[in-house]
Amino acid sequence: MPETKSKLLQVEHLKKYFTIRKKGRLMAVDDVSFDIYRGETFGLVGESGCGKTTCGRTIIGLYPATSGSIRYEGKDITHLTGPQAHWFKKRAQMIFQDPYASLNPRMTVGDIIAEGMENFGLYPGVKQRQQRIQELLGLVGLNKEHANRFPHEFSGGQRQRIGIARALAVDPEFIICDEPISALDVSIQAQVVNLLIKLQQELGLTYLFIAHDLSMVKHISDRVAVMYMGHLVELAASEELYSHPLHPYTQALLSAIPIPDPQIERQKEVLPLEGEVGSPINCQPGCRFASRCPHAMERCHQETPVLKDLGQAHLVACHLF
């Protein structure tokens, strides 16, 4: 966590619903609030379909918010259009999960990286732009000769590095990393995470790091929020969350992470996630984890738990607390 804590992004009561014909409303993000401080990495974790990617895409403006507000440097960016949207896009970029699908196969790496510079009128002049492309390739661990090649000539890890260089091309300050390592081989994942950490230190970046697995965000995040079916269920500093998980869902997720020591791993208690996952369509009041929670009581089926600060900025949404 940076020493001077100034809020870069403030998300308040954000909702993103999708209308499904003849079924109703899919409540992908439902009343989610959190702040991200300048210079920190904020991890957002949850199983596939929990709404974390929708949350990231709504923040960056790819989906219009249903309600709630998003503020960036204190300015309301919830429904930006025209020059204001341009202002925000220059500051905030996204790195996508699938480095195969997110790069145009018909463009050279140099053109892919230059696209953002052109859109924002940065580094005008061929020589200046070429020089900047080469700098960016070096920054992400690629060679300047790579600028003339096409995406299919690269490995998955290298393509993700190209995606990172493309995001950096407009000199952003905030990057949403949407599962940037999930599609990569385990051996490459650590390299990409270390690259993101190095870039953050060198360029003073702020990250929203989205992942489906708590072990993936442990190494990089200052604070971690856990999401379940559209709700935030727990939020704490990374160390605190990993050492004292409070929400039954977080506890189950953490118990499933393998420990590299075989002796400890054999003795470890894994908390199984049993029961049916509820539907995010037309949700009724109550805890959305109740169908899988070993501690569920009557109140859990009637009243939606709200996120409460239990001290030391450790927030949890559960009727047990």
Pick 136 or 316: Cβ nearer ligand SF4: 316
What's the count of helices (H) and strands (E) in the chain, helices before strands?
Answer: 11, 12
Tell me if 230 contacts ligand SF4 by CB under 6 A: no
Site string for ligand SF4, 268-307 (x = CB under 6 A): -------------------x-xx--x-xx---x----x--
**Nearest distance, CB of residue 310 and ligand SF4, angstroms:** 13
**Nearest distance, CB of residue 234 and ligand SF4, angstroms:** 10
Judge residue 49's burial from the number of C-beta atoms within 10 Å of its C-beta, 0-12 exposed, 13-18 middle, 19 or more buried: middle
Q: What's the gap between Cα 284 and its chain centre? A: 27
**Nearest distance, CB of residue 228 and ligand SF4, angstroms:** 9
**Nearest distance, CB of residue 320 and ligand SF4, angstroms:** 5
313 secondary structure, DSSP code: T
Pick 67 or 302: Cβ nearer ligand SF4: 302
Asked if residue 32 lies in contact with residue 55, where contact means CB atoms within 8 angstroms, the answer is yes
Q: Which of residues 171-200 bind ligand SF4 (CB under 6 A)?
A: none
**Which of 117, 100, 106, 221 has the alpha carbon at shortest distance from 167?**
117
Site string for ligand SF4, 47-86 (x = CB under 6 A): ----------------------------------------
Residues 165-201 as b or e (16 or more Cβ within 10 Å = b)? bbbbbbebbbbbbbbbbebbeeebbebbbebbeebbe
Tell me if 320 contacts ligand SF4 by CB under 6 A: yes
**Nearest distance, CB of residue 286 and ligand SF4, angstroms:** 8
For residue 29, give the amino acid letter: V
Tell me if 248 contacts ligand SF4 by CB under 6 A: yes
Report d(CA 240, CA 231) in Å as an integer: 20
Tell me if 214 contacts ligand SF4 by CB under 6 A: no
Pick 159 or 231: Cβ nearer ligand SF4: 231
Q: Which helix (H) or strand (E) holds 98?
A: none
* Residues in touch with ligand SF4 (CB under 6 A): 247-248, 287, 289-290, 293, 295-296, 300, 305, 318-320
